[in-house]
Amino acid sequence: MDNLNGIVAFVRTAEALSFVAAGRKLGISASAVGKTIAKLEQSLGVRLFHRTTRKVTLTDEGRHFFESCHRILDDLHDAQAVLSEAAQMPRGRLRVSLPVIGYRFLMPVLPEFARLYPDVELDLDFNDRLADVVEGGFDVVIRSGVLTDSSLMSRGLGPFSFMLCAAPSYLVQAGVPRTLRELEAHACVRYRFLTTGKLQPWALSADDSEPPNLRTAMTCNNMEALREAVIAGFGIGYMPDFLVRDALATVLDDHRKPPGQFSILWPSSRQLSPRLRVFVDFMCARLFKVV
What is the structure's pLDDT at 289? 62
In contact, 248 and 162? CB cutoff 8 Å: no
Domain 92-161+261-286 fold is D-Maltodextrin-Binding Protein; domain 2 (3.40.190)
Distance between CA atoms of residues 25 and 10, nearest Å? 12
CB 238, CB 204: distance < 8 Å: no
The mean per-residue pLDDT over the stretch 236-242 comes to: 89
Every domain range in the chain assigned CATH 3.40.190.10 = 92-161+261-286, 162-257
For range 76-105, the mean pLDDT = 81
pLDDT at 291: 39
User: What whole-number distance in Å separates Cα of residue 28 and Cα of residue 20?
Assistant: 9
% of residues, the chain, pLDDT over 70: 87
Answer with the residue of higher pLDDT: 210 or 91: 91
Across residues 104-126, what is the average pLDDT?
Answer: 92
Residue 52 has pLDDT above 90, yes or no: no
User: What is the Rg, in whole angstroms, of the alpha carbon atoms belonging to the chain?
Assistant: 30
The domain defined by 162-257 folds into D-Maltodextrin-Binding Protein; domain 2 (3.40.190)
C-alpha 93/C-alpha 140 separation (Å) is: 12
Q: What is the pLDDT of residue 5?
A: 85
Look at residue 42 and tell me whether its pLDDT is greater than 80.
yes
Q: Which whole number is the average pLDDT over 92-108?
A: 89
Render pLDDT for 26-35 as a digit per residue (tens, 0 to 9): 899 989 998 9
Long-range contacts (CB closer than 8 Å, 24 or more residues apart) made by 13-16: 13/37, 13/49, 13/56, 14/48, 14/49, 14/58, 14/62, 14/66
Q: Which CATH code, of 2.120.10.90, 1.10.240.10, 3.30.413.10, 1.10.10.10, is assigned to 2-86? A: 1.10.10.10
* 179-221 per-position pLDDT tens digit: 888 889 999 999 998 878 899 988 876 554 456 788 999 999 8
**pLDDT at residue 47 is higher than 50:** yes
| 262 bridge partner residues | 144, 158
Question: Above pLDDT 90, what percent of the chain?
Answer: 33
Question: What's the whole-number average pLDDT of the chain?
Answer: 85
Cβ-Cβ contacts under 8 Å for 142 (sequence gap 6 or more) = 96, 97, 98, 99, 102, 106, 157, 262, 263, 264, 265, 283
Give the pLDDT score at 87: 63
Average pLDDT over residues 250-261: 75
Q: Which residue(s) pair with 224 in the sheet?
A: none
CB 85 within 8 A of CB 273: yes
d(CA 32, CA 249): 80
Greater confidence, 202 or 290? 202
pLDDT at 236 over 70: yes
pLDDT surpasses 60 at 161: yes
pTM of the model: 0.59
Mean pLDDT of 35-53: 90
HEC per residue, the chain: CHHHHHHHHHHHHHHHCCHHHHHHHHCCCHHHHHHHHHHHHHHHCCCCEEECCCCEEECHHHHHHHHHHHHHHHHHHHHHHHHHHHCCCCCEEEEEEECHHHHHHHHHHHHHHHHHCCCEEEEEEECCCCCCCCCCCCCEEEEECCCCCCCEEEEEEEEECEEEEECHHHHHHHCCCCCCCHHHHCEEEEEECCCCCCECCCCECCCCCCCCCCEEEEEECCHHHHHHHHHCCCCEEEEEHHHHCCCCEEECHHHECCCEEEEEEEECCCCCCHHHHHHHHHHHHHCCCCC
Name the segment(s) of the chain with CATH classification 1.10.10.10. Answer: 2-86
Average pLDDT over residues 256-261: 72
